[in-house]
Amino acid sequence: MTAERQEGNAMRLGFATIWLAALLLASAPWPRLQAATTERVVVDRYTGLAIDGFDPVAYFTDREARMGVADYEASASGAIWRFCNAANMAAFVANPDIYSPQFGGYDPVGIARGVPLQGNPLVWLVSGQRLFLFDREESRDAFSADPERYLKQARQQWPAVQATLAQ
């Protein structure tokens, strides 16, 4: 084989390797990158907003995910929380433990497995007078079918998971 032909084969092999690597990277499941998943409360790493700026009280009062506004903000648990109105903000400030999502906004099904998966504020459930956010609808459905089981496991795993998260 001539030197020219060997160089051509090497170049084709290099292109094939790069193409295969790009294909594998494109098909890999990537986590959402906008929020920090090393914090005890899930916050947007650029803005410091908890639950992507959604009003945590609205899940209880309006039974829907509603975006908060910058005019009504409060700080708690190292995060900035937004609200739709002054009444929701006052309710949260008086009782942040009640209105904050459980497990810091991490998916309780993931926590039950020992994995801190960022909850999605649009995939939620109020169960037992507490707000839970889920990574995906399948997790919410599984939790909804047997909340006691998942809560028992998540509460057992939460201290170990919390130990891996920043303060």
pLDDT over 50 (residue 59): yes
Instruction: Judge whether 102 lies within some domain.
Output: yes
Tokens of 153: 């496991």
pLDDT at position 145: 96
Instruction: Judge whether 62 lies within some domain.
Output: yes
pLDDT at position 45: 87
From residue 39, alpha-carbon distances to 35, 78, 84, 97, 145 in Å are: 9, 9, 25, 17, 28
Q: Could you tell me the pLDDT band of residue 6, with boundaries at 50, 70 and 90?
A: low
What is the domain count for the chain? 1
The whole-model pTM stands at: 0.76
Instruction: Judge whether 79 lies within some domain.
Output: yes
C-alpha to C-alpha distance for 100 and 143, rounded to whole angstroms: 18
Contact call for residues 111 and 158 (beta carbons, < 8 A) = yes
| Percentage of residues of the chain with pLDDT beyond 90 | 68
Instruction: Judge whether 69 lies within some domain.
Output: yes
Instruction: Judge whether 10 lies within some domain.
Output: no
Contact call for residues 46 and 35 (beta carbons, < 8 A) = no
Instruction: Judge whether 28 lies within some domain.
Output: no
Residue 120, Cβ density class (10 Å: 0-12 exposed, 13-18 middle, ≥19 buried): buried
Q: What is the pLDDT of residues 76-133, one digit of tens each?
A: 988 999 999 999 999 999 999 999 999 999 999 999 999 999 999 999 999 999 999 9
Instruction: Judge whether 138 lies within some domain.
Output: yes
What domain range is 78 assigned to? 35-163
Q: Which residue has the higher pLDDT, 160 or 14?
A: 160
pLDDT at position 5: 55
Q: What is the pLDDT of residues 60-71, one digit of tens each?
A: 999 999 999 999
First to last CA, the chain: 63
Q: Could you tell me the pLDDT band of residue 22, with boundaries at 50, 70 and 90?
A: very low
> Of 71, 77, 54, whose CA–CA distance to 162 is shortest?
77
Question: Could you write out the three-class secondary structure of 13-45?
Answer: HHHHHHHHHHHHHHHCCCCCCCEECCECCCEEC
pLDDT at position 78: 86
Instruction: Judge whether 124 lies within some domain.
Output: yes
- Identify the DSSP state of 129: T
